[in-house]
Amino acid sequence: MKIHLTKSVVMVVTILWATMAGAFDRSVFDNLDYGIYWYQNQIVSQKANPGVANPYFMNGQPTLIYIHGWQRDKTPLLYRETFDRSAETGIAQDLMMPWKQAGWNTGIFYWNQFGDEPDVKDAESKIWSINGPKAMRWRKADGSYVDSNIDQTAAQLFVSSYKSALSGYTGNNIRLVGHSLGSQMVIVGAKLISDAVDRGEIPANLLLKRVVLLDPAFIGDARAYLNNDITVEVGHDYVFALKQKGIIFESLSTSSVSQDASIKTLMNDTAYRELKPWYFNGFDIVGKHLSAIWHYWWEYAYPPRPITGTALSAVSSSASDSAAQTWMSSTKKMVHDQGAWTKTPADDNYKQVIK
């Protein structure tokens, strides 16, 4: 079985990385910088450092951590993603304000210097292994690559950052959201966190409540660094096992990036929605792919949207855990039915379709 993005999709998606980020100081990229940054709003943040008080993180509150995907040629531009998606939505409002008003900690895990590779497959390999084609090299602000002796994968580095940033956390509501290649990061990260809980290395309340896959991307065929397994199939196995431990998975498809048959099979084991962003033309894969991110942030401001012709509501970022759990276990997925021509989630309706 071959799992891949078509060449045209890869070429188009490559373009987006210079258009969807925020500028950071050059000093951040002259050396290797990865880890979790807690955000005050959509743009102001402070890195989570051990022993350093962070004004943007509150112990005991519900917590959202977002993980980005492939970052080709982003480092020399001094860009990283933030929660500010105004360039894509065309509106200036802070999409994270409703989350903040509801008490959420909001953070981003950055692995952008590792993910800045010309070939997306080389970025993907760093999620799973330190023995991929480019090992764990990272990119500097001047565009050069540094061959590091780092002995942890990007997913393992995330879990180390996670344990540190959430040391002393007293809540029990943590949601991990990954976009595109970042969906692989959140699946592998969830598996490693679950294993650490089982071994007693971290407290049980750090087990994730929900894991969200936004237009997930899996690239390539069998990989030598995975004993010739295929990433989407291993990821699917992880999802199946983690569901048995009570972790809720949801997914949102917005473009052809997530339309491969094996990716759909994985999403069928989640609370699966298909968004139809028809406000972009048919060839705008970039716009559609990015819409998964800001649509998920934006819809939190609204109650879950209705299912046409029923008394049901679709799962959304604002939906309860129990509702997401129900849809995850359902034989049906949710498909965008009304509101597809407008960016705002306020007028969205969905219909039920057999998975």
Q: Locate 300 and state its tokens.
A: 């939190």
Per-residue pLDDT tens digits for 136-173? 999 999 999 999 999 999 999 999 999 999 999 999 99
Kindly indicate the confidence band of residue 8, based on its pLDDT and cuts at 50, 70 and 90.
very low
Q: What residue ranges define each of the domains in the chain, with the CATH number in brackets?
A: 7-354 (3.40.50)
d(CA 56, CA 60): 13
CB atoms within 10 A of CB 151: 8
What pLDDT shows up at residue 221? 83
Kindly indicate the confidence band of residue 26, based on its pLDDT and cuts at 50, 70 and 90.
confident
Beta bridge partners of 67: 109, 178
200 — phi, psi (to 5°)? 80, 15
Q: What is the rounded average pLDDT of the residues 127-136?
A: 96
- Lowest model confidence (mean pLDDT) among 28-42, 215-229, 257-271: 215-229
Per-residue pLDDT tens digits for 222-250? 999 999 999 999 999 999 999 999 999 99
What pLDDT shows up at residue 233? 96
